[in-house]
Amino acid sequence: MTEVYKLEINPVTRIEGHGKITVMLDEAGEVKEARFHVTQYRGFEVFTKGRDFREMPVITPRICGICPVSHHLASAKACDDILGVTITPAAHKLRELMHMGQIVQSHALSFFHLSSPDILLGFDAPVKIRNVVGLAERYPELAKKGILLRKFGQEIIKTLGGKKVHPWHSIPGGVNRSLTPQERDNIAAQIPEMKSIALEAIKLIKGYLEEGKEEAKEFATVETAYMGLVRDGKLELYDGNIRIKAPRGRILDEFDPKDYLKYIGEHVEPWSYLKFPFYKSLGFPHGSYRVGPLARLNAADNIDTPQASEEYALYKQISDDGIVPYTLYYHYARLIEALYGIERIEQLLSDPEITSSDLRVTSKEINPEGIGVIEAPRGTLIHHYWVNESGVITKVNLIVATGHNNYAMNKGVEAVAKKYIKGRDIPEGVFNRLEHVIRAYDPCLSCSTHAVGKMPLKLELISSAGEVIKEVVRG
């Protein structure tokens, strides 16, 4: 009988949350199977039952310390729906302003802190230097600019919500704080420098992708559909319809987010706590799709800010049909979105209503359910609450950005494993390439499983009989 060995990367590093990659090898060292496991246990959907729905915009951001704003806003939108209200224009703009701050800070974190060590120092660089500290030593000015860009977004969140992490600003029916003219002017004064940083980062990633074009287009590339919010066909991150495009750009569907259950199903595998969402009309796995920056740019037709629109036009030229399927190009798309976020902040700040004090709509109505959908930095985020006549939560469904990408991450890991693993002696750079498949999607595993957890970094080769024949531990 052919003996099978299991190579385990546990946990995957430089992502938010904890997961592991296992690669099954036969005795010849050829890859038999590869999987990305999410090993955290989900819980928020269960323990929020029995809570008053008005508490959810404060409770659900605790799912994650990286993207609490996304949960805060999606939850508030679901609560608005339960109340049956349309928030004021000023409240809408202030929520979007905080959301753009979140987009900018999260994308800066992903590119400058988590992914650029691989890009600038190389997949094969020693693990001791292939990190944000090594990056700062080699490229101090670039590292400093990345910190400034992230700080810019964080300070917007803090200004509106009182703190950078787990802010409290959106409430059912609106927001609880206005923006002063002085605060508006302080943010606006930083915009030229932030645009410059974003444009410099875009130039950097384009140079990297062009220099290694062949590998960049092959690396972990999979064929899927694409999903994202659009408004009149343009990129939209706060409101709009959900659009799903086929791999080559044909629009498969466009629908009101409140109808998501009619279009999106969830497949379950016993080896992961993370579900596999899919487009129901095509079934699983053929209906698998991707979300996040690259998927959003593929799903949209244009961008409604000037400089991001110019860059988007160049992005569309990468392929003949305007669809970019290449996984490493998530980094490029992410930076285009960061530029869009900065420009959208500028647009919002120039609107006189941004300093209005007309912030909240009240209602005594309690509908039996409410749905809030937003584009989190990592992709489409869905909060769906069911309540009784007193407003007490009876059921919760959360479909988080990382979950949508589960199928693509698994297939990407398998593709990279089959290309680079030949035998049991596997160089460190190959391990890192496998991890970078996941980093490209910038997953938030705490979000997707709605829980927390931690474990040591351990690599194992295990025989089919369960014998550990090789073990490597990294700090």
Residue pLDDT, tens place only, 266-285: 998 887 777 899 999 999 99
What pTM was computed for the model? 0.91
CB atoms within 10 A of CB 457: 15
pLDDT surpassing 70 at residue 1: no
pLDDT surpassing 60 at residue 71: yes
Mean pLDDT score across all residues of the chain: 87
Gap between the Cα atoms of 443 and 376, Å rounded: 11
* % of the chain residues with pLDDT over 70: 87
Q: Is 398 annotated as a binding residue?
A: yes
Domains and their CATH numbers in the chain: 44-441 (1.10.645.10)
pLDDT surpassing 90 at residue 466: no
Q: Is 27 annotated as a binding residue?
A: no
Gap between the Cα atoms of 457 and 18, Å rounded: 10
- What confidence score (pLDDT) does residue 9 get? 52
Q: What is the mean pLDDT of residues 341-364?
A: 97
Phi, psi (deg, nearest 5) at residue 196: -60, -40
Higher pLDDT, 131 or 304: 304
| Angle 163-15-17 from CA coordinates, rounded to 5° | 70
Gap between the Cα atoms of 256 and 238, Å rounded: 13
pLDDT in tens, 167-200: 999 999 999 999 999 999 999 999 999 999 999 9
User: How many residues are listed for the chain in this entry?
Assistant: 475
Largest Cα–Cα separation, the chain: 74
Q: Is 79 annotated as a binding residue?
A: no
Q: Is 444 annotated as a binding residue?
A: yes
Contact criterion met (CB below 8 Å) for 407 and 288: yes
Q: Is 450 annotated as a binding residue?
A: yes
Quickly state the pLDDT bin for 4 (edges 50, 70, 90).
low
Q: Is 294 annotated as a binding residue?
A: no
